[in-house]
Structure 1
Amino acid sequence: MILSTRINRRYFILRTGSALAKLNVVIASVLFASCSSSQNQSTSTPTSQNVSASQQTNIIKVGVWSVIAEDILKFIQKKLASSQGLEIQTVKFGDWVQVNNALKSGEIDANYFQHRLFMEDSAKRLNLNLVMLNQTYLTPIGIYSKKIKSLSEIPNGATIAIQSDASNQDRTLKFLQSQKLIKLKDISGNLFSVKDMVENSKNLQFKELEGPAIVRGLDDVVVGAFLGSLLIQAKQLDLRPIVQESTKDKRYALGLVTLQGKENDPKIQKLNQLIIDPKVKDFIKNTYQDAVVPVF
């Protein structure tokens, strides 16, 4: 009986020890997995606890709308910004209105998508004080068609697609006037719209569309007049214009924009200089052909 009790007691100790060993292995595995998970999360998405104050001051959030501006900023980050300790975070928006609203709310530090006339019109509508910094590239307006090859082929009563936003519609109508397709009334200080035409010899019917939709809508109209950059957005860069706007006028050149009072922020000024680096000019020329033209 005594021997049996000793054997049972030894079996219990061995069994208990084995269970404890297994439990320790499980606990260690859980702890290791937890640590590994924490390390992966901090690598992919840094938190404010993992980023020093000095690093945070060199992060600039820039709002963009078009793929052109996004690609240019990516090029700057890869080739120029990193060596100067600047981190550019691009925030892409689905329409033109949101990008300036994001400046107002503080979601971004600057944006890179608009020309001066568009900025001034937006500032009035949104009650914002905006500042244009360095201008970098121009996207000329062209007249495009999948149905005809010259302006003389435009039939009477043809439908023409134009951009719906105020500043680009003003610009498009002035271009159409320069091509003697329409004539506008004599006004100053205001943006032209389709209601300001006094002559329309071909009785053109205007279809107002927004953004890349105007490129996709070419199948439904005779001609379209719009920014060359929209071809890139719609991935139709091989479509060539019947006639294109002169690139000498820099009023429509896109530039870096921020809120008044923030223009002297060191990180904004650093980016402001990088966007006019000669390497950026070469990148624009080599990437976008004549659809996008550097102006610096």
Structure 2
Amino acid sequence: MKKSGLILSSLLLAASLLTACGAKQEAAPAANAGTEQKTIKVGVTGGPHEEIFNKVKEVAKTQGLDVEVVVFNDYVQPNQALDKGNLDLNSFQTIPFLNKFNEDHKTKLVEIGKGVTFPMGIYSTKHKKVEEIPEGGVVGIQNDPTQRARALLLYQAAGLIKLKDGAGDNATPLDIVENPKKLEFKELEAPFLARSLKNFEAATINTNFAMEAGYSPKKDAIFAEGADSPYVNVLVAKEENKDNPAFKKLVDIYRSEEVKKFIDEHFDGAVLPSW
């Protein structure tokens, strides 16, 4: 009996040691889970988005966050890079564009904060007013679906065309029901419109590309969206990372008074903070 009792005691002791070791192994990931990410890689388009995030980077550094700014020259690669995990966040797009990208590419990218509005404008090197655009004139618009619709809505707001009811964010030139000047709409990739402006009677240009080409949205646009534009740019992450505390901290830094002051002073009304 004594021998049996000794064996039983040994077995119980071994079991308790194994349980204790197992508990320690399970507890280790929980400790790591609380560690906040310190370096964040952010994709932006060249121009104002880049300049804004360089300011955000400067402020973030004082709060213990290192931001790496990666610059792109189109509207597709920043989302592709984010989806592949080559970026943590990006900042360059509106909600309609994001929704369309997710739909077309079967991705799950989500807004984690609102940024700034870049009013799209109609520009011309030949005319000072939209009324001066001649009959039969060739005008430029963006070729990606959401920017193209936004451009057509701007031409409509300027009184040059009328779109069929309900076209909205899905508008294409086929939805034009009134075109009294018989304008011809030529589509180009967004960055090329500013560079090719002399080839058009007028063209819709995004603020960042207009500024890159040396145009002042405030002075050079012959018609532009107002502060009430629904096309606010957003900061975007993969859905699985939307609650990352470091990302939330960076959004708060972006939407700080210090960054807002920089935007107001640096861009002189060409870029509008959403906060």
**Shorter-chain TM-score category?**
0.7 to 0.9
- Asked if the contact 1:66/1:113 (under 8 Å) is kept, the reply is no
Distance 1:240 1:189 in 2: 26
- Separation in structure 1 between the aligned mates of residue 225 and residue 202 of structure 2, nearest angstrom: 15
Alignment of 1:131-150 (within 5 A): 131-150=110-129
Please name the residue that 1:62 is paired with.
42
Aligned residues: 242
Tell me if 1:168 matches 2:147.
Answer: yes
1:233 correspondence with 2:212: yes
- 1:38-77 matches, within 5 Å, as 57-77=37-57
Does the CA-based 8 Å contact 1:162-1:172 persist in structure 2?
yes
Q: Which residue of 2 aligns with 1:199?
A: 178
Q: Is the CA contact 2:82–2:88 (under 8 Å) kept in the aligned structure 1?
A: yes
SS where residue 106 of structure 1 aligns?
A: coil
Q: Please name the residue that 2:226 is paired with.
A: 246
- Work out the CA distance in 1 between the residues paired with 2:73 and 2:151: 22
Give TM-score, length-normalised by structure 1.
0.77
Moved over 6 A (4+): none
Q: Distance in 2 between matches of 1:93 and 1:141?
A: 19
How big is the shift at 1:210? 1.5
- Pair 1:115-2:94 in alignment: yes
The 3-state SS of whatever aligns with 1:236 is coil
Task: Go from structure 1 to structure 2 and tell me whether the alpha carbon gap of 1:256 and 1:276 turns closer, same or farther (over 3 Å shift).
Answer: same
User: What SS class does the counterpart of residue 170 from structure 2 fall into?
Assistant: coil
* Alignment counterpart, residue 284 of structure 1, candidates 238, 244, 263: 263
C-alpha distance in 2, partners of 1:295/1:57?
A: 26
Q: Which amino acid aligns with 2:223?
A: V
Q: Which residue of 2 aligns with 1:90?
A: 69
From 151, 161, 182, the equivalent of 1:182 is 161
- For structure 2, the residue ranges without an aligned partner over 5 or more in a row are 1-33
Q: Aligned to 1:57, what secondary structure does the other structure show? A: coil
* Secondary structure of the structure 1 residue equivalent to 2:240: coil
CA spacing shift, 1:94–1:188, aligned 2, 3 Å: closer
AA in 1 matched with 2:53:
L
| Gap runs ≥5 in structure 1 | 1-53
Aligned residues of 1:229 and 1:291 also touching (Cα < 8 A): no
Equivalent position amino acid for 1:82 in 2: K
User: Percent of aligned pairs with the same residue?
Assistant: 34
CA distance in structure 2 between the aligned counterparts of 1:214 and 1:256, rounded to whole angstroms: 25
The two structures have a TM-score, normalised by structure 2, of: 0.83
Q: CA 1:236–1:55 in structure 2 vs 1: closer, same or farther (change >3 Å)?
A: farther
Q: Would the alpha carbon gap of residues 158 and 66 (structure 1) be closer, same or farther in structure 2, given more than 3 Å must change?
A: same
Q: Give the C-alpha shift of residue 64 in structure 1.
A: 1.1
Q: CA deviation at 1:94?
A: 2.9
SS at match of 1:201: coil
Letter in 1 for 2:69: T
- Give the secondary-structure state (helix, strand or coil) at the position aligned to 2:55: helix
Q: Please tell me the residue identity of whatever aligns with 2:224.
A: Q
In the alignment, is the contact (CA less than 8 A) between 1:64 and 1:113 conserved in 2?
A: yes
Contact 1:212/1:233, CA 8 A, preserved across alignment: no
CA distance in 1, matches of 2:238, 2:244: 11
Change (3 A) 1:56 1:276: closer
Structure 1: distance between partners of 2:168 and 2:154: 18
Q: Cα distance, 1:189 vs. partner?
A: 7.3
Query: Are the equivalent residues in 1 in contact too, given 2:49–2:208 (CA < 8 A)?
Result: no
Q: CA deviation at 1:182?
A: 0.8
The equivalent residue for 2:78 is 99
Tell me the distance in 1 between the aligned counterparts of 2:164 and 2:268: 35
Which residue identity lines up with residue 215 of structure 1 in the other structure? A
- Asked whether 1:221 is paired with 2:200, we answer yes
